[in-house]
Amino acid sequence: MSEKKITNILVAGIGGQGVMTAAEVLSQTALKQGYDVKKTEVAGMAQRGGVVTSHVRFGEKVLSPAIPPGEVDIIVGFEPAEALRWCSQLRPGGVAMVNTMKQEPPVVSLGLFEYPEDPVGDIRRMGVDVHAFDAGAIARELGNFRLVNTVMLGAISVYLPFSPEILKNEIIDRFRAKKPKLVEINEKAFEAGRIAQAAS
């Protein structure tokens, strides 16, 4: 991606999964690389269980925080049905990075929405370049379920207009400042995400 092009990332999931944190990390990393950055939470209800969506846009000059319809470069789907719901907003050639761990939002348990039988399969049938893997299982194997966030960021790092090391260092620096004991495990989670993306 050239510096003049705006990079559009849509992060989608369920409250409590780390959607807002992932969007903030991406925004701060891009800002430190000299990009103009805009971020917005499009769908609210950040409490645990509610649907949460955030737009992150960065480039030479970004006028609006909202990604125009059909111009999403990367969907970071923390939940497969939520990833499917937003795939129609991808540009041609866009990428969907999907955590296959199913977590039904309240609208499903309330009977207001029917959970799709095969959301990842539905995304593939749309002709989307989709990389799907169980980030929850990877996080559990590493010993901390909260690592899903770092796993997903590692997975998309190869698609960003700066090196994966720059994004990893931003994540590590955040932990080094607040929770130094978690630095090493987050490094492992980031690299595990990169491996999962390459294998998916």
Domains located in the chain, CATH noted: 7-199 (3.40.920.10)
Query: What is the model's pLDDT at position 109?
Result: 72
Query: What is the model's pLDDT at position 46?
Result: 45
Burial 133-169 (b: 16+ CB within 10 A, else e): bbbbbbbeebeeeebbbbbbbbbbbebbebebeebbb
Q: What is the DSSP string of 130-167?
A: EEEE-HHHHHHHHT-GGGHHHHHHHHHGGGSSS-HHHH
Query: What is the model's pLDDT at position 129?
Result: 96
The parts of the chain modelled with pLDDT lower than 70 are: 1-4, 42-49, 106-107
Q: How many CB atoms lie within 10 A of CB 60?
A: 12
Query: What is the model's pLDDT at position 107?
Result: 67
Query: What is the model's pLDDT at position 105?
Result: 72
pTM for the full predicted model: 0.91
Query: What is the model's pLDDT at position 48?
Result: 53
What are the φ/ψ torsions at residue 101 (nearest 5 degrees)?
-70, 115
How far is it, in rounded angstroms, from Cα 110 to Cα 107? 5
Write out pLDDT tens, residues 168-189.
999 999 999 999 999 999 999 9
